[in-house]
């Protein structure tokens, strides 16, 4: 992902360097294997360099194979509600024991004016009106994205990851997520406006 990583880093820096970006919620959504985590990490790194504190919450801390999206009320209670009140957030990311997910140890993060939600379903319709920016990481074709996901998670996860791609296809079609997001495509470090591209 070397070349793509550079593009995402450049795009993240462009967004972070916008002085108007001081507070609010940013969602980084798109299909698995597209580069969302790479982009979000670059965005957080640049914001930190600029002295702007932010929280990064990943949907992977909640999602499981059996519950890819229905965990959202937990994030509302433990992250979004305290964030809106300028309180610290406290939640329990999933940990996997012998292939079974369980709520892990409590993770407590101090409040920051910027909250970045990264991962599949992070820009879902349920939060659309509260987002200050919604970004869609386009990524390459499904075959390449699956190969990336397998390389990251292991060959033994291939069937789960393929099923996850099918879930994503259905979710994004029903939620119409992409149409509400600025779109960042491979080879372009400037997101296009929602509804375009």
Residue-wise pLDDT for 63-94, tens only, equals 999 999 999 999 999 999 999 999 999 999 99
pLDDT-derived band at 181, boundaries 50, 70, 90? very high
Residue 157 lies inside a defined structural domain of this protein: yes
Residue 18 lies inside a defined structural domain of this protein: yes
Residue 195 lies inside a defined structural domain of this protein: no
Axis-axis angle for helices 36-49, 2-16 (nearest 10): 40
pLDDT-derived band at 190, boundaries 50, 70, 90? low
Residue 98 lies inside a defined structural domain of this protein: no
| Per-residue pLDDT tens digits for 40-49 | 999 999 999 9
Q: How many domains does the chain have?
A: 1
Output phi, psi for 91, to 5 deg.
-150, 170
Residue 84 lies inside a defined structural domain of this protein: no
Q: State yes or no: pLDDT of 2 exceeds 60.
A: no
């Amino acid at each position: 992902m070397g070349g793509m990583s550079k593009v995402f880093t450049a795009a993240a820096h462009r967004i972070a360097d916008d002085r108007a970006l001081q507070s609010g919620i940013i969602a980084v959504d798109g299909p698995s294997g597209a580069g969302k985590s790479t982009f979000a990490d670059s965005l957080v790194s640049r914001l930190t360099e600029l002295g702007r504190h932010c929280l990064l919450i990943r949907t992977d801390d909640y999602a499981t194979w059996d519950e890819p999206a229905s965990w959202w009320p937990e994030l509302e209670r433990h992250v979004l509600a305290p964030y809106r009140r300028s309180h610290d957030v406290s939640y329990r990311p999933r940990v996997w024991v012998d292939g079974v997910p369980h709520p892990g140890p409590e993770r407590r993060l101090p409040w920051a004016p910027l909250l970045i939600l990264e991962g599949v379903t992070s820009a879902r319709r349920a939060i659309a009106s509260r987002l200050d920016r919604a970004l869609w990481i386009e990524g390459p074709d499904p075959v390449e994205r699956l190969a990336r996901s397998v390389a990251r998670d292991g060959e033994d996860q291939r069937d789960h990851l393929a099923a996850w791609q099918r879930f994503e296809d259905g979710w994004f079609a029903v939620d119409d997520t992409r149409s509400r997001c600025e779109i960042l495509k491979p080879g372009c470090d400037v997101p296009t406006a929602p509804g375009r591209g």
